[in-house]
C-alpha cells in the first residue's frame, strides 16, 4: 500500500523549461510513468490553462495526461476514472466556487477515496488551499477573506503566495493571531510541502528565495518560523 500523500505548492503554474516542482511531484507518484489528471475547476476549466498544463506535463515521463472538465462535463464515471490515475493536480483560481462545484458533483468524496487509495494529490494556490481545513482566499475579490470550508484532508490552515501578494502575509499573521484561522503553513511561490497522511515529511523549493513558514499562535501573539527547505535541481 502507498501512503496517502499530498503535495501543497505555494504558486507558479507549470511552464516548459521550468519544471523542477513538477518533476518532484512525479517522482513521488506510485508509478514510474504516472497517469496524470488535471482539475482546472477553479479557473472555470480555462482552455489556455489546460493547454499549458498538458504541454508542460506531456514533456515529462508520463504515461498519459488528461484533464477533468466539470463546466462541460464529458466523463460520466468520475470515480472510476480518478481512482485509475496516479497523480491528480488541482489548478489555481476561485477556491470557494471550486469547492462548491466539487461537492455538487461528489468530487469531495471521490478525492478522499483516491487519496486513501494512494493517488498522489497536489496543486497550487486554490489547488493547495483546498486540501486543508482553512486558508486565505481572494475568491470574493479583495480584501482577502478566510476560507473555512476546505476538504480537511490536512489539519489547520494554509496561505499560498505568501510574499508574492502584498496583503497575504500580514493578513494571515493577523488571522492566526486572533484565532480566525488555525495554525498552519505559509508558502511562497516556488515552494512546496509534501505530506504523508497528515504529517509534513519534506519541504522543497525550486527557488532559493522561496520560503516555507510555520505560523502558530502564541500567548504573546503569533510565531512565524521559516522552515529549512531542500533546493530542487532546475
Q: What is the mean pLDDT of residues 30-58?
A: 96
Q: What is the mean pLDDT of residues 70-80?
A: 96
C-alpha span between 211 and 228 (Å, rounded) = 8
Asked if 125 is an active-site residue, the reply is yes
Ranges of beta strands (E only) in 28-148 are: 35-39, 64-67, 87-90, 120-124, 132-137, 145-147
Q: Which of 37, 43, 161, 205 is catalytic?
A: 161
* Architecture of the domain spanning 5-228: 3-Layer(aba) Sandwich (3.40)
Q: Which of 125, 128, 139, 157 is catalytic?
A: 125
pLDDT 10s digits, 92-143: 999 999 999 999 999 999 999 999 999 999 999 999 999 999 999 999 999 9
Asked if 67 is an active-site residue, the reply is no
Contact 74, 101 (CB under 8 A): no
Closest CA to 168 of 224, 229, 102, 112: 224
Q: What is the mean pLDDT of residues 150-168?
A: 96
What pLDDT, on a 0 to 100 scale, did the predictor assign at position 16? 66
The chain-wide mean pLDDT, for the chain, equals 96
Domain boundaries, the chain: 5-228
What pLDDT, on a 0 to 100 scale, did the predictor assign at position 116? 98
Q: What is the mean pLDDT of residues 192-214?
A: 97
Amino acid at each position: 500500500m502507498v501512503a496517502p500523500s499530498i503535495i501543497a505548492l505555494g504558486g507558479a503554474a507549470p511552464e516548459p523549461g521550468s519544471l523542477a516542482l513538477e518533476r518532484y511531484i512525479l517522482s513521488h507518484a506510485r508509478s514510474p510513468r504516472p497517469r496524470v489528471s488535471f482539475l482546472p475547476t477553479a479557473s472555470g476549466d480555462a482552455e489556455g490553462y489546460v493547454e499549458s498544463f498538458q504541454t508542460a506535463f506531456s514533456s515529462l515521463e508520463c504515461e498519459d495526461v488528461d484533464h477533468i472538465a466539470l463546466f462541460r462535463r464529458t466523463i460520466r464515471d468520475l470515480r472510476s476514472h480518478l481512482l485509475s490515475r496516479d497523480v491528480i493536480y488541482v489548478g489555481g483560481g476561485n477556491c470557494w466556487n471550486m469547492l462548491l462545484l466539487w461537492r455538487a458533483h461528489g468530487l469531495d468524496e471521490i478525492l478522499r477515496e483516491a487519496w486513501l487509495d494512494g493517488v498522489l494529490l497536489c496543486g497550487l494556490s486554490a489547488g493547495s488551499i483546498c486540501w486543508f481545513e482553512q486558508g486565505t482566499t481572494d475568491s470574493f475579490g479583495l480584501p482577502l477573506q478566510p476560507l473555512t470550508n476546505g476538504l480537511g484532508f490536512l489539519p489547520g490552515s494554509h496561505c499560498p503566495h505568501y510574499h508574492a501578494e502584498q496583503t497575504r502575509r500580514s493578513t494571515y499573521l493577523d488571522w492566526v493571531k486572533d484565532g480566525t484561522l488555525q495554525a498552519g503553513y505559509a508558502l511562497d511561490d516556488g515552494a512546496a510541502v509534501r505530506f504523508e497522511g497528515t504529517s509534513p515529511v519534506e519541504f522543497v523549493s525550486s527557488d532559493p528565495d522561496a520560503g516555507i513558514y510555520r505560523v502558530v499562535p502564541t500567548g504573546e501573539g503569533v510565531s512565524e518560523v521559516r522552515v529549512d527547505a531542500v533546493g530542487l535541481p532546475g
